[in-house]
A and B are shown apart, each in its own frame.
Chain A
Protein backbone atom coordinates (compact mmCIF):
# COMPACT_ATOMS: atom_id res chain seq x y z
CA UNK A 1 0.00 0.00 0.00
CA UNK A 2 1.54 3.27 -1.10
CA UNK A 3 1.95 6.08 1.40
CA UNK A 4 -0.98 8.41 0.86
CA UNK A 5 -2.88 11.21 2.50
CA UNK A 6 -4.54 8.81 4.98
CA UNK A 7 -1.23 7.86 6.60
CA UNK A 8 -0.36 11.46 7.34
CA UNK A 9 -3.84 12.25 8.63
CA UNK A 10 -3.70 9.25 10.98
CA UNK A 11 -0.32 10.40 12.35
CA UNK A 12 -1.86 13.83 12.89
CA UNK A 13 -4.85 12.30 14.66
CA UNK A 14 -2.63 10.23 16.98
CA UNK A 15 -0.46 13.25 17.84
CA UNK A 16 -3.59 15.33 18.50
CA UNK A 17 -5.01 12.69 20.84
CA UNK A 18 -1.74 12.37 22.77
CA UNK A 19 -1.59 16.14 23.14
CA UNK A 20 -5.21 16.22 24.28
CA UNK A 21 -4.43 13.49 26.83
CA UNK A 22 -1.54 15.60 28.17
CA UNK A 23 -3.73 18.68 28.46
CA UNK A 24 -6.53 16.72 30.17
CA UNK A 25 -4.53 14.78 32.74
CA UNK A 26 -1.42 16.75 33.63
CA UNK A 27 -1.37 18.91 36.73
CA UNK A 28 1.96 20.46 35.83
CA UNK A 29 1.70 23.69 33.84
CA UNK A 30 4.78 23.01 31.70
CA UNK A 31 3.45 19.56 30.73
CA UNK A 32 0.18 21.15 29.67
CA UNK A 33 2.13 23.54 27.44
CA UNK A 34 3.96 20.55 25.95
CA UNK A 35 0.57 19.00 25.15
CA UNK A 36 -0.47 22.21 23.40
CA UNK A 37 2.71 22.04 21.32
CA UNK A 38 1.81 18.48 20.28
CA UNK A 39 -1.66 19.63 19.20
CA UNK A 40 -0.21 22.50 17.15
CA UNK A 41 2.25 20.10 15.47
CA UNK A 42 -0.56 17.73 14.53
CA UNK A 43 -2.55 20.56 12.94
CA UNK A 44 0.56 21.56 11.00
CA UNK A 45 0.97 18.02 9.66
CA UNK A 46 -2.61 18.19 8.40
CA UNK A 47 -2.05 21.58 6.73
CA UNK A 48 1.08 20.44 4.93
CA UNK A 49 -0.41 17.03 3.98
CA UNK A 50 -3.50 18.63 2.46
CA UNK A 51 -1.37 21.20 0.63
CA UNK A 52 0.73 18.35 -0.82
CA UNK A 53 -1.99 15.86 -1.71
CA UNK A 54 -5.23 17.81 -2.10
CA UNK A 55 -4.66 21.36 -3.27
CA UNK A 56 -1.29 21.10 -5.00
CA UNK A 57 -0.24 24.66 -4.10
CA UNK A 58 1.79 25.92 -1.16
CA UNK A 59 -0.87 27.96 0.68
CA UNK A 60 -1.18 25.23 3.31
CA UNK A 61 2.51 25.58 4.02
CA UNK A 62 2.07 29.34 4.48
CA UNK A 63 -0.58 28.61 7.13
CA UNK A 64 1.74 26.07 8.74
CA UNK A 65 4.41 28.75 9.05
CA UNK A 66 1.90 31.13 10.65
CA UNK A 67 0.99 28.38 13.15
CA UNK A 68 4.67 27.81 13.96
CA UNK A 69 5.09 31.56 14.52
CA UNK A 70 2.09 31.71 16.86
CA UNK A 71 3.38 28.62 18.70
CA UNK A 72 6.65 30.42 19.35
CA UNK A 73 4.80 33.47 20.72
CA UNK A 74 2.55 31.21 22.80
CA UNK A 75 5.52 29.33 24.27
CA UNK A 76 7.33 32.55 25.19
CA UNK A 77 4.35 34.16 26.91
CA UNK A 78 3.08 30.90 28.45
CA UNK A 79 6.40 29.98 29.99
CA UNK A 80 6.84 33.55 31.28
CA UNK A 81 3.45 33.22 32.99
CA UNK A 82 4.51 29.84 34.43
CA UNK A 83 7.69 31.41 35.83
CA UNK A 84 5.68 34.26 37.36
CA UNK A 85 3.28 31.75 38.97
CA UNK A 86 6.27 29.83 40.31
CA UNK A 87 7.68 32.99 41.90
CA UNK A 88 4.40 33.72 43.67
CA UNK A 89 3.13 30.24 44.66
CA UNK A 90 6.46 28.31 44.69
CA UNK A 91 4.81 25.52 42.69
CA UNK A 92 3.56 25.15 39.13
CA UNK A 93 0.76 22.75 39.97
CA UNK A 94 -2.22 24.25 38.15
CA UNK A 95 -4.53 23.38 41.04
CA UNK A 96 -2.48 25.49 43.43
CA UNK A 97 -3.08 28.77 41.59
CA UNK A 98 -6.68 29.29 42.66
CA UNK A 99 -6.52 32.56 44.56
CA UNK A 100 -9.03 34.11 42.18
CA UNK A 101 -11.73 31.72 43.48
CA UNK A 102 -11.81 33.25 46.95
Chain B
Protein backbone atom coordinates (compact mmCIF):
# COMPACT_ATOMS: atom_id res chain seq x y z
CA UNK B 1 0.00 0.00 0.00
CA UNK B 2 1.62 3.26 -1.01
CA UNK B 3 1.55 6.38 1.08
CA UNK B 4 -1.24 8.15 -0.83
CA UNK B 5 -3.60 5.22 -0.31
CA UNK B 6 -2.76 5.09 3.39
CA UNK B 7 -3.40 8.83 3.69
CA UNK B 8 -6.71 8.44 1.89
CA UNK B 9 -7.86 5.77 4.32
CA UNK B 10 -6.71 7.89 7.28
CA UNK B 11 -8.75 10.89 6.04
CA UNK B 12 -11.74 8.65 5.31
CA UNK B 13 -11.63 7.12 8.80
CA UNK B 14 -11.39 10.56 10.42
CA UNK B 15 -14.36 11.80 8.37
CA UNK B 16 -16.62 8.81 8.98
CA UNK B 17 -15.57 8.39 12.61
CA UNK B 18 -16.29 11.96 13.61
CA UNK B 19 -19.55 11.86 11.65
CA UNK B 20 -20.48 8.81 13.74
CA UNK B 21 -19.73 10.78 16.91
CA UNK B 22 -21.98 13.57 15.59
CA UNK B 23 -24.78 11.08 15.05
CA UNK B 24 -24.44 8.95 18.19
CA UNK B 25 -23.01 11.15 20.96
CA UNK B 26 -25.21 11.85 23.97
CA UNK B 27 -23.52 15.19 24.62
CA UNK B 28 -24.23 18.00 22.18
CA UNK B 29 -20.89 19.69 22.84
CA UNK B 30 -19.07 16.54 21.66
CA UNK B 31 -21.34 16.43 18.60
CA UNK B 32 -20.60 20.05 17.74
CA UNK B 33 -16.85 19.70 18.12
CA UNK B 34 -16.58 16.44 16.20
CA UNK B 35 -18.49 18.12 13.38
CA UNK B 36 -15.22 20.02 12.90
CA UNK B 37 -13.41 16.72 12.22
CA UNK B 38 -16.03 15.80 9.63
CA UNK B 39 -15.79 19.13 7.83
CA UNK B 40 -11.97 19.09 7.82
CA UNK B 41 -11.96 15.47 6.63
CA UNK B 42 -14.33 16.31 3.78
CA UNK B 43 -11.95 19.13 2.82
CA UNK B 44 -9.15 16.55 2.72
CA UNK B 45 -11.27 14.34 0.46
CA UNK B 46 -11.73 17.30 -1.90
CA UNK B 47 -7.93 17.65 -1.99
CA UNK B 48 -7.65 13.98 -2.97
CA UNK B 49 -10.15 14.65 -5.76
CA UNK B 50 -8.02 17.50 -7.12
CA UNK B 51 -10.59 20.15 -6.19
CA UNK B 52 -8.35 22.72 -4.55
CA UNK B 53 -10.78 25.66 -4.71
CA UNK B 54 -13.68 23.69 -3.24
CA UNK B 55 -11.42 22.43 -0.44
CA UNK B 56 -10.45 26.00 0.46
CA UNK B 57 -14.10 27.12 0.33
CA UNK B 58 -15.08 24.16 2.52
CA UNK B 59 -12.52 25.16 5.16
CA UNK B 60 -13.48 28.84 5.02
CA UNK B 61 -17.25 28.49 5.08
CA UNK B 62 -17.92 25.26 6.99
CA UNK B 63 -15.13 25.28 9.58
CA UNK B 64 -14.85 29.06 9.79
CA UNK B 65 -18.49 30.03 9.49
CA UNK B 66 -21.15 27.37 9.93
CA UNK B 67 -19.36 25.54 12.74
CA UNK B 68 -18.90 28.78 14.70
CA UNK B 69 -22.61 29.57 14.18
CA UNK B 70 -23.57 26.11 15.48
CA UNK B 71 -21.29 26.47 18.50
CA UNK B 72 -22.81 29.89 19.24
CA UNK B 73 -26.30 28.41 19.03
CA UNK B 74 -25.31 25.55 21.38
CA UNK B 75 -23.80 27.94 23.90
CA UNK B 76 -26.78 30.32 23.74
CA UNK B 77 -29.46 27.66 24.20
CA UNK B 78 -28.04 25.30 26.86
CA UNK B 79 -26.92 25.62 30.37
CA UNK B 80 -23.46 24.17 29.92
CA UNK B 81 -23.43 22.74 33.43
CA UNK B 82 -26.27 20.25 32.93
CA UNK B 83 -25.02 19.16 29.55
CA UNK B 84 -25.58 15.44 30.08
CA UNK B 85 -29.19 15.28 28.95
CA UNK B 86 -29.00 17.86 26.19
CA UNK B 87 -28.97 15.53 23.21
CA UNK B 88 -31.97 13.31 23.63
CA UNK B 89 -32.71 10.78 20.91
CA UNK B 90 -35.83 8.73 20.33
CA UNK B 91 -36.67 5.72 18.18
CA UNK B 92 -33.07 4.55 17.88
CA UNK B 93 -33.71 0.95 16.87
CA UNK B 94 -36.18 1.53 14.00
CA UNK B 95 -33.91 4.30 12.74
CA UNK B 96 -30.85 2.03 12.90
CA UNK B 97 -32.73 -0.67 11.00
CA UNK B 98 -33.89 1.84 8.39
CA UNK B 99 -30.45 3.32 7.74
CA UNK B 100 -28.92 -0.18 7.76
CA UNK B 101 -31.19 -1.28 4.93
CA UNK B 102 -30.69 2.07 3.21
CA UNK B 103 -26.88 1.93 3.31
CA UNK B 104 -26.93 -1.70 2.11
CA UNK B 105 -29.03 -0.71 -0.92
CA UNK B 106 -26.85 2.33 -1.64
CA UNK B 107 -23.60 0.34 -1.51
CA UNK B 108 -25.09 -2.42 -3.70
CA UNK B 109 -26.15 0.19 -6.26
CA UNK B 110 -22.76 1.90 -6.17
CA UNK B 111 -20.93 -1.38 -6.69
CA UNK B 112 -23.10 -2.74 -9.46
CA UNK B 113 -23.56 0.36 -11.61
CA UNK B 114 -20.94 0.90 -14.27
CA UNK B 115 -20.34 4.62 -13.94
CA UNK B 116 -19.20 6.75 -16.84
CA UNK B 117 -15.45 7.24 -17.02
CA UNK B 118 -13.71 10.47 -17.95
CA UNK B 119 -11.29 10.37 -20.86
CA UNK B 120 -8.44 11.55 -18.67
CA UNK B 121 -8.20 12.32 -14.97
CA UNK B 122 -6.69 15.75 -14.43
CA UNK B 123 -4.87 17.14 -11.43
CA UNK B 124 -4.72 20.78 -12.48
CA UNK B 125 -5.60 24.04 -10.67
CA UNK B 126 -9.35 24.55 -10.96
CA UNK B 127 -9.87 28.13 -9.75
CA UNK B 128 -9.59 29.79 -13.17
CA UNK B 129 -11.96 27.31 -14.82
CA UNK B 130 -14.51 27.67 -12.00
CA UNK B 131 -14.31 31.45 -12.32
CA UNK B 132 -14.87 31.24 -16.08
CA UNK B 133 -17.94 29.01 -15.56
CA UNK B 134 -19.38 31.37 -12.93
CA UNK B 135 -19.15 34.34 -15.27
CA UNK B 136 -20.30 32.53 -18.44
CA UNK B 137 -22.68 29.58 -18.15
CA UNK B 138 -23.69 30.07 -14.52
CA UNK B 139 -23.99 33.86 -14.44
CA UNK B 140 -27.71 33.90 -13.57
CA UNK B 141 -27.46 31.37 -10.69
CA UNK B 142 -24.40 33.27 -9.46
CA UNK B 143 -26.35 36.53 -9.28
CA UNK B 144 -29.36 34.75 -7.74
CA UNK B 145 -27.01 33.34 -5.09
CA UNK B 146 -26.14 36.83 -3.95
CA UNK B 147 -29.86 37.65 -3.67
CA UNK B 148 -30.46 34.48 -1.64
CA UNK B 149 -27.60 35.37 0.69
CA UNK B 150 -28.98 38.89 1.14
CA UNK B 151 -32.45 37.50 1.94
CA UNK B 152 -30.94 34.99 4.41
CA UNK B 153 -28.96 37.77 6.07
CA UNK B 154 -32.00 40.01 6.53
CA UNK B 155 -34.14 37.03 7.60
CA UNK B 156 -31.66 35.94 10.24
CA UNK B 157 -31.42 39.46 11.65
CA UNK B 158 -35.22 39.88 11.76
CA UNK B 159 -35.79 36.45 13.33
CA UNK B 160 -33.20 36.67 16.06
CA UNK B 161 -33.62 40.20 17.34
CA UNK B 162 -35.52 40.80 20.53
CA UNK B 163 -38.97 42.29 20.08
CA UNK B 164 -39.81 45.32 22.13
CA UNK B 165 -43.29 44.98 23.58
CA UNK B 166 -45.17 48.03 24.73
Contacts and interface: CB of A to CB of B under 8 A. Distances in A.
A57 B136 CA distance: 15
A63 to B, nearest CB: 9
Main secondary structure of the interface of A (DSSP, over half): helix
Interface in A10-47: 10-11, 13-22, 24-28, 30-31, 33-35, 37-38, 41, 44-45
Interface of B: 4-5, 8, 12, 15-16, 19-20, 22-23, 28, 31-32, 35, 38-39, 42, 45-46, 48-51, 53-54, 57-58, 61-62, 65-66, 69-70, 72-74, 76-77, 86-92, 95-96, 98-99, 102-103, 106-107, 110-111, 115-122, 126, 129-130, 133-134, 137-138, 141, 145, 148-149, 151-153, 155-157, 159-160, 162
Interface of A: 2-3, 5-11, 13-22, 24-28, 30-31, 33-35, 37-38, 41, 44-45, 48-59, 61-62, 64-66, 68-77, 79-84, 86-87, 92-93
A53 B138 CA distance: 22
Given A56-B121, A58-B133, A70-B148, A45 B155 contact: no
B66 A75 contact: yes
B121 A53 contact: yes
Given A17-B103, A62-B134, A6 B88 contact: no
Most interface-central of A7, A17, A20, A51 (chain B CB within 10 A): A17
Most interface-central of B12, B54, B62 (chain A CB within 10 A): B54
